[in-house]
Amino acid sequence: MKGKLIIFEGVEGCGKTTQMQLCDQWLQSLNIPTLMTRQPGGTELGSHIRHLLLNKTDNQPIADRTELLLYAADRSQHVEQLLKPNLLLGKLILSDRYIYSMIAYQGYGRGLDTSLIEQLNTIATEGLESDLTFWLDVDPEVGLNRKRGDGDIFDRIEQEKIDFHHRVQAGYTALATSEPHIIIRIDGSLTREAVQENIQEVLKNKLQSWGYITM
């Protein structure tokens, strides 16, 4: 059986990483072979690119198009080295971010042309689409405050002005409206347990239709 690709998306502090990890534990308890990964940074090369993108320490700004291409380079390597071979092995891959992050952040956030970004995503992924994407919908200010409350040090993107984060959120909202069967909106403002319950509810039906479990 060919594997499946499940993505977790959303603004900073939306809870996607925690929810993905809880999901992974649950899937493993069902004896489903999983692989957790992330963009940027799911490969060794990607982890260098992630560092350049998020933890750059000199004061020279990264141009928007350079940023776009670095995310695309990370994606291309990730698809080739990790996603494709593991899908062939039948793994259920859980990825922290994928193509929609680029439309939301570089398209809506930075204002780059979204149709060009779609083409770039197609080049980087060779057309590999997700089987399911969860969008954890949280107000950006709530997300950033959560991060502040956890004492997180903000990276280069998290340090952007609040307007940028609102534009990113508007991007996710538009994407979820135009692709409701692929992008599933989950209310990320609920408790951790309630969010996980809602994710598992959607996933149970999918796992059944994909043949991973029988009811």
- Contacting positions for ligand TMP (CB under 6 A): 12, 38-40, 71, 96-97, 101-102, 105-106, 157
Instruction: Give the HSE-up count for residue 46: Cα atoms under 13 Å, Cβ half-sphere.
Output: 19
Nearer to ligand TMP, 96 or 137 (CB): 96
**Least distance CB 10 / ligand TMP (angstroms):** 8
Nearer to ligand TMP, 12 or 137 (CB): 12
**Least distance CB 88 / ligand TMP (angstroms):** 23
**Least distance CB 152 / ligand TMP (angstroms):** 10
With contact defined as beta carbons under 8 Å apart, do 156 and 163 qualify? no
Nearer to ligand TMP, 120 or 203 (CB): 120
Q: Which residue is nearest to ligand TMP (CB)?
A: 105
With contact defined as beta carbons under 8 Å apart, do 101 and 131 qualify? no
List the one residue out of 171, 158, 153 whose CA is nearest residue 106.
Answer: 171
**Least distance CB 98 / ligand TMP (angstroms):** 7
- Please give the Cα distance from 151 to 1 (Å, whole number): 43
Nearer to ligand TMP, 4 or 165 (CB): 165
**Least distance CB 192 / ligand TMP (angstroms):** 17
Nearer to ligand TMP, 40 or 140 (CB): 40
